[in-house]
Amino acid sequence: MTQVQPDEPATNPAPAPAVGSGARIVALDCYDVRFPTSLEHDGSDAMNPDPDYSAAYAVLRTDAGDVGGVGGVTGAGGLEGHALCFTIGRGNDVVVAAIKALREHVVGTPVSDIIGDLGGFSARMIGDSQLRWLGPEKGVMHMAIGAVVNAAWDLAAKVEGKPLWRFLADMTPEQIVELVDFRYLEDAITRDEALAILRAAEEGKAGRIAELERAGFPAYTTTPGWIGYSDEKLAELSRQAVADGFRQIKLKVGANVDDDMRRLRLTRDVVGPDIRIAVDANQRWGVEQSKTAIAALTPWNPYWVEEPTSPDEIVGLAEIKKAIEPVKVAVGEHVANRVIFKQILQAGAADVLTIDACRVAGVNENLAILLLAAKFGVPVCPHAGGVGLCEMVQHLAMFDFAGVAGTTDGRVLEYVDHLHEHFTDPVRVVAGRYLAPTAPGFSTTFRSETLRGYEFPNGSVWQQLGGESAP
């Protein structure tokens, strides 16, 4: 059973070697952290009525001390990399076990070998032939690799002293393409084509970085629209979202078409004609059912429908997209890997890609997906919410603007106002925009009291709820 380690500084720490002089990874720890969000129906949708937002929280520990200028964010015991894999409760322990299965690829490795070759690091874990059998490149093992890859990126950005988005934006096009695995992609995008996209985005990049630092990145909010919320709560939170500066909100749909029509009409009445309302069915429908269900909602002008059906249903998504125009199709948070994203784009099956920071194998694979999206001219509007997803994916959206897509036209980043208080560097959303993170790293470090309270089942909060038998 995972135990929370005390994370106060050691009383008598050994002198810490600098990262450049042989520091090594000494441990890959992983914690099962769960929040009892199902008690309030936060996060409820047609497919997932009672999620307990959870994180398999990976920590790469090194024998290096704090690095210059980064005090306070590297981990109380010295330089550490943090990342999480988001789940919604049961099964979080399965991801924890999968992350622990990657220890032999990590522990004992010089830090410089990992952060100096993040492409190779990712490829070695993905290429572990015995673990690969569990996918290939999909599912729990792939998500676990994503958590470890993302922890390495957090570590690298901390060593560099930059927030991740800026660390990426300051790389050259040549450095970026070295991070991407083009295997299985070259019929859609070659390395040279990716390089051309990145080189074209060099123009104006400094100005876009300055714009991000000044004005942030546009957000939309799903906070009002959980399916378990009453009409009164939906109306009140929708009103509040507009007052808070959001220009787009999202409603969960798909359980019952009459309820969907009533809730969309109510929301449209509250927010008026100029606010975009996206709807999200969370894979609830089949192909034909998607068409009729969305047709019933068109009087209230939904902007996009997200995950109408299975994310693997490429042919069906293309058919739905054609049938429901001008309502857009959005998909991505459950798309397993870059190969499926490629086919969705090749099939013309989506208007919007909703990438997730920890569904695929981390930053590297998401770079591949950003490049594919740019090649096909499809906007990326990342999925967030849950726990830590906003913190992580904001970095990818901002890098996409600065260094790949070069525009925020049609781009907006999901925001949900839950659980940010558990992070040492929480997102800051002001007037409907994400402010650019400034602290070094990937914004994925949990506060120490969060681990003490929410580690499952032994944390103090879970013990009060009855531990393993909590409702």
Query: What does the binding site for Mg ion look like in residue numbers (CB under 5 A)?
Result: 280, 306
Is residue 395 annotated as part of the catalytic site, yes or no? no
Cα separation, 110 vs 64, whole angstroms: 11
Q: Which of 353, 405, 369 is nearest to 217 (CA)?
A: 405
Nearer to Mg ion, 306 or 400 (CB): 306
CB of 352 to Mg ion, least distance (A): 11
**Are 101 and 93 within 8 A, CB to CB?**
no
Question: What is the length of the chain?
Answer: 471
In sequence order, the 6+-apart residues with CB closer than 8 A to the CB of 269 are none
Cα separation, 74 vs 202, whole angstroms: 31
Nearer to Mg ion, 154 or 280 (CB): 280
CB of 136 to Mg ion, least distance (A): 25
SS3 content of the chain, % helix, strand, coil (to 5): 45, 15, 40
Q: What is the DSSP string of 358-369?
A: TTSSHHHHHHHH
φ, ψ of residue 433 to 5 degrees: the values are -135, 140
Nearer to Mg ion, 138 or 250 (CB): 250
CB of 333 to Mg ion, least distance (A): 5
CB of 307 to Mg ion, least distance (A): 6
Nearer to Mg ion, 66 or 391 (CB): 391
Q: What is the DSSP letter of 72?
A: T
Structure tokens at 37: 């969000």
Nearer to Mg ion, 42 or 280 (CB): 280
Nearer to Mg ion, 93 or 306 (CB): 306
338-346 and 314-324 helices, crossing angle to 10°? 40
Q: Which residue is nearest to Mg ion (CB)?
A: 280
Where do the DSSP E strands lie in 270-378? Answer: 276-280, 302-306, 328-331, 352-353
Nearer to Mg ion, 220 or 300 (CB): 220
Gyration radius of the chain's alpha carbons: 21
**Are 378 and 353 within 8 A, CB to CB?**
yes
Is residue 252 annotated as part of the catalytic site, yes or no? yes
Question: Within 13 Å, how many C-alpha atoms sit on residue 208's CB side?
Answer: 22
Nearer to Mg ion, 280 or 425 (CB): 280
Cα separation, 46 vs 37, whole angstroms: 16
Site of tokens 């979080």: 92
Instruction: State the catalytic residue, choosing from 383, 418, 420, 422.
Output: 383
CB of 207 to Mg ion, least distance (A): 32
CB of 252 to Mg ion, least distance (A): 8
Site of tokens 């269900």: 293
In sequence order, the 6+-apart residues with CB closer than 8 A to the CB of 256 are none
SS3 category, 451 = helix
CB of 45 to Mg ion, least distance (A): 7
314-324 and 287-297 helices, crossing angle to 10°? 30
CB of 334 to Mg ion, least distance (A): 8
The number of beta carbons lying within 10 Å of the beta carbon of residue 116 is 12
Instruction: State the catalytic residue, choosing from 252, 342, 375, 395.
Output: 252
**Which residues are known to be catalytic?**
252, 383
